[in-house]
């Protein structure tokens, strides 16, 4: 899918949250500047309200409780945990993390999952943001969102991309997403 602005990246983030399942481990990859943190921020704010979402680049993880009684709480989400592995390398076992096993009530969002060996295989879903082309001024735009369940250790019954495509049928006609 092609996205033409951060506004639509945030909208896709909200759509992903609506189709994700509690207990999922979602990896988000892409070059610097492709909108990974924007996507994560949208997911967290959709579920947790207008909270300040910080990048865990130096701390590795932040936890955000889902408000009791909210739509997402009632859907089974109790907490969203945001990881950023940009500054890491090597094997997951050597990272000092206690593993990446979300409880059945958590949603784990991992930016840069490819930085630690073995993480990609643990993902429920892997979303990749890419620059599609350069415009005349040399600015890279728009973004391409891909969902790859290939190689994921936990095979989902239906990819996020297919679920999002279904949701697109309910979007306003001027929502500028097209199939890549």
Q: Please check whether residue 118 lies inside any domain of the structure.
A: yes
Which pLDDT value is given to residue 18?
Answer: 79
Q: Which among 67, 40, 34 has a CA at the least distance from the CA of 55?
A: 40
The answer as to whether 31 is a domain residue is: yes
- Look at the chain and report how many structural domains it folds into: 1
- pLDDT score of 170: 46
**β-bridge partners, 63:** 81
Residue 165 has which token pair? 């495509």
Q: What are 64's strand-pairing partners?
A: 80
Residue 179 reports pLDDT greater than 50: no
For residue 30, name the pLDDT band (cuts at 50, 70, 90). Answer: confident
User: In this structure, is residue 70 part of a structural domain?
Assistant: yes
79-84 and 106-111 beta bridge pairing: parallel
pLDDT tens-digit map of 123-166: 888 888 877 665 666 666 555 565 555 434 333 435 555 555 55
Q: At residue 8, does pLDDT exceed 70? A: yes
pLDDT of residue 114: 92
Supply the CATH number for residue 146's domain: 3.40.50.300
Whether residue 175 is contained in a domain is answered as no
pTM attached to this predicted model: 0.76
Full residue range of the structural domain in which residue 77 is found: 2-168
For residue 178, tell me if it sits in a domain.
no
Q: Would 56 be classed as within a structural domain? A: yes
Residue 173 lies in a domain: no
pLDDT of residue 38: 85
Tell me the C-alpha distance between 111 and 83, whole Å.
6
% pLDDT > 70, the chain: 67
4 pLDDT band, cuts 50/70/90, is low
Residue-wise pLDDT for 38-86, tens only, equals: 889 888 998 998 898 877 767 788 999 999 998 899 989 999 999 999 9
Query: How far apart are alpha carbons 79 and 20 in whole angstroms?
Result: 13
């Amino acid at each position: 899918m092609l996205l033409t602005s951060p506004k639509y990246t945030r909208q896709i983030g909200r759509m992903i949250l609506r189709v994700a399942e509690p207990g999922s481990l979602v990896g988000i990859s892409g070059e610097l500047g492709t909108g990974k943190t924007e996507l994560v921020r949208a997911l967290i704010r959709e579920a947790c309200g207008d909270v300040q979402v910080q990048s865990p680049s130096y701390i590795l993880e932040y936890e955000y409780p889902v408000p009791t009684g909210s739509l997402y709480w009632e859907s089974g989400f109790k907490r969203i945990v945001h990881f950023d592995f940009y500054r890491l390398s090597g094997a997951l076992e050597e990272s000092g993390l206690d593993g990446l096993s979300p409880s059945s009530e958590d949603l784990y969002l991992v930016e840069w999952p490819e930085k630690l060996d073995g993480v990609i295989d643990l993902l429920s879903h892997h979303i990749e943001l890419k620059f599609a082309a350069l415009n005349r001024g040399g600015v890279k735009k728009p973004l391409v969102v891909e969902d790859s369940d290939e190689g994921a250790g936990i095979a989902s019954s239906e990819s996020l991309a297919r679920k999002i495509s279904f949701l697109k049928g309910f979007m306003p006609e001027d929502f500028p997403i097209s199939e890549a």
